[in-house]
Structure 1
Amino acid sequence: MINIRHILNISAVGAIAILATACGGEKKKSQGELDAQAEVFEKAEHELIEEIDKVVHDMPPPSEVPYLLMATGADFNGDIINSTDNASKYFNSADKAAMNLGAYATDIGYLSSYDQVQDALTYMETSQKLADQIGISSAFELDLMERFEKNLGNKDSLANLINYSMEVAEKKLEETDRLQMVALVLSGSYIEGLYLSVMVLDTYPEDLLPAAQRDLILEPIVRVIIDQKKSLDDIIHLLKDLESDPIIADVIAEFDILKELYKEDVGDIDQRIADQDPTLKLDKALLIDIITEVKRIRGDMVK
């Protein structure tokens, strides 16, 4: 678990700056005091960037959850990804563009995992336009797009390329001190991966197989969803350590609700598995509340 308590909150540092400015009229700051303040600000920013890098490292990359879904044997469902037709709705909002850039990255991972390569290329082109909206078009520069197109027949290479492009995007945002944008890209990628997982589970035909056999097939997907609670905790800690704006505040509020549902529904799941609890069934019924909330959050994100 990330130890946020030892990280200086940027909001608090901002408050110090305001206080220092207010007091400046009473007493002119010495150069030493100004240097000390600058050092505090620089340290806070450096520590926050380190925190973001750790969350990025600990989170599954955009291609991982889609690959896990494919590995379970679940069929491809093109209806559950965010249509590129929606992209024009995000062009006038940097926050929306950032979150849905993250979502499209995960969608590209899903398409690539199922060899939907031409659609994956279309999504890459759309992602390039969104990246341009938040000033990081170089994350999807011509060389990367050409490499993606040349590797359309190799899903492993495509996965590596989309993961790399997201790493570049995050670094570009860090370099320009737009740490909130980084957090929103991460949030969008996370919620899209979780949404794809719950939709695969929720849309699986009820009458295709006997219940026991169906539950056995779907159990790995249930585990994928349960395993995302750790990444959720990490993202919430990161968001709360950023200077809040209305979008960040809304994301925190929604993710906090989801965290509580995880705690209520599967908070003791690891212990029950370790104890080999005979009453435990890793099935859709265990996650009904989580499924409902994920759908709501994702619906708000893409609209």
Structure 2
Amino acid sequence: MMNVRHILNFFAVGALLFLVAACGDDKKKSKGELEAEAEVFEEAENQLIEEIDKVVHDMPPPSEVPYMLMATGADFNADIINPVENAKKYYNSADKAAMNLGAYASDIGYLSSYDQVQDALKYMEASQKLADQIGISSAFELEMMERFEKNLGNKDSLANLINYAMEVAEQKLEETDRLQMVALVLSGSYIEGLYLSVMVLDTYPEDLLPEESKNLILEPIVRVIIDQRKSLEDITQLLKDLESDPIIADVIAEFDILKELYKEDLKNIDERIKNQDPTLKLDKELLVDIIKEVKRIRGEMVQ
């Protein structure tokens, strides 16, 4: 598939040539030439959307990481999700609304996984308002909200509904050529899911269990965090391939730092796991720098 940056460069060059040709002489292009140009532009745009769809497909849906955290046996912690009251802080910024719409999707997945259904409904209502701020309120239309409320006793149905709502939101943004908003929603969902993971790991009581028993519980969470490397690579590349604005530039800078920490702190980790390196301990100490950076990025996202 053509690299998206090449596509965008092609757009820019094509537009410039078109303006020069239009201003430089009085010759009018034939209908066939105009139609051919339109086809080229449409094809390039479709390729860009396909690239976004691939990233969306490869990333875990909002409910997946929270469900994996619940499956490890870690207790629910209401303090680690983004308070629903924060939603009103994002109403005056489309970029903030988009990122925290993604964050709330992961929070809803976390709440639903632990049967915190009434709170999950409040977050759905807040998400509806955030979606309205970026012009996609139909992703959380009345029928969707009613279906969510009717399924409050079924965590699997709730997970499917929030995943579906986010798919609709991304589709609506693509249809209106707001691809930057799609990338920011994905970024918010990604960083919130990663934050929930590191906080479950970081806040686990030190003296609750013997060391060996504790490590058996926490090792799957460490693996969840390690496995987020691929999604980080994909979403960072997507952000770089889109036209930048100050918010996107900031997110790229933050994600680039996080990528370097993954690279340094987890050097040769796959080989060591594969070879069952007896000196390798999959515990919090392995991720100290990553945990610190994720906390910082997420703190700036929700403020």
Under TM normalisation by the shorter chain, which class is it? over 0.9
Q: Which residue number corresponds to residue 173 of structure 1? A: 173
User: CA shift at 1:247, angstroms?
Assistant: 1.1
| 8 Å contact from structure 2 (residues 98, 131) kept in 1 | yes
Is residue 233 from structure 1 mapped to residue 233 from structure 2 by the alignment? yes
User: CA shift at 1:7, angstroms?
Assistant: 6.6
| 1:35–1:219 CA distance, 2 compared to 1 (3 A) | same
TM-score (norm 1): 0.95
Q: Report 1:130-279 matches (<5 A).
A: 130-279=130-279
Q: Greater shift after overlay, 49-58 or 127-136?
A: 49-58
TM-score (norm 2): 0.95
How far apart are the structure 1 equivalents of 2:259 and 2:230? 10
| 8 Å contact from structure 1 (residues 8, 47) kept in 2 | no
User: Could you give the per-residue CA deviations for residues 40-75 of structure 1, whole angstroms, max 9, x where no partner exists?
Assistant: 321221001111111111110000000000000000
How many residues are treated as equivalent by the alignment? 301
User: CA shift at 1:23, angstroms?
Assistant: 4.4
Structure 1: runs of 5+ lacking an equivalent: none
| 8 Å contact from structure 1 (residues 97, 133) kept in 2 | yes
How far apart are the structure 2 equivalents of 1:95 and 1:136? 13
Q: Greater shift after overlay, 251-260 or 121-130?
A: 251-260
Q: Which residue number corresponds to residue 3 of structure 2? A: 5
| 1:116–1:4 CA distance, 2 compared to 1 (3 A) | farther
User: CA shift at 1:214, angstroms?
Assistant: 1.6
2:271 is matched by which residue type in structure 1?
A: Q
| 8 Å contact from structure 2 (residues 111, 120) kept in 1 | yes
| 1:29–1:258 CA distance, 2 compared to 1 (3 A) | farther
How high is the sequence identity, in percent, across the aligned residues?
A: 79
RMSD: 1.5
How far apart are the structure 2 equivalents of 1:4 and 1:93? 32
| 8 Å contact from structure 2 (residues 4, 242) kept in 1 | no
| 8 Å contact from structure 1 (residues 7, 44) kept in 2 | no
SS of residue matched to 2:277? coil
How far apart are the structure 1 equivalents of 2:16 and 2:190? 34
How far apart are the structure 2 equivalents of 1:22 and 1:263? 46
User: CA shift at 1:217, angstroms?
Assistant: 1.4
User: CA shift at 1:15, angstroms?
Assistant: 4.2
1:256 is matched by which residue type in structure 2?
A: D
User: Could you give the per-residue CA deviations for residues 152-191 of structure 1, whole angstroms, max 9, x where no partner exists?
Assistant: 0000000000000000001011111111111110110000
How far apart are the structure 2 equivalents of 1:163 and 1:183? 16
Q: Greater shift after overlay, 163-172 or 38-47?
A: 38-47
How far apart are the structure 2 equivalents of 1:218 and 1:174? 38
| 8 Å contact from structure 1 (residues 222, 283) kept in 2 | yes
Is residue 108 from structure 1 mapped to residue 108 from structure 2 by the alignment? yes
User: Could you give the per-residue CA deviations for residues 192-232 of structure 1, whole angstroms, max 9, x where no partner exists?
Assistant: 00000000000111121222322221000000000000111
How far apart are the structure 1 equivalents of 2:257 and 2:189? 18
Q: Which residue number corresponds to residue 42 of structure 2? A: 42
User: CA shift at 1:12, angstroms?
Assistant: 4.4
| 1:61–1:98 CA distance, 2 compared to 1 (3 A) | same
| 1:191–1:6 CA distance, 2 compared to 1 (3 A) | closer
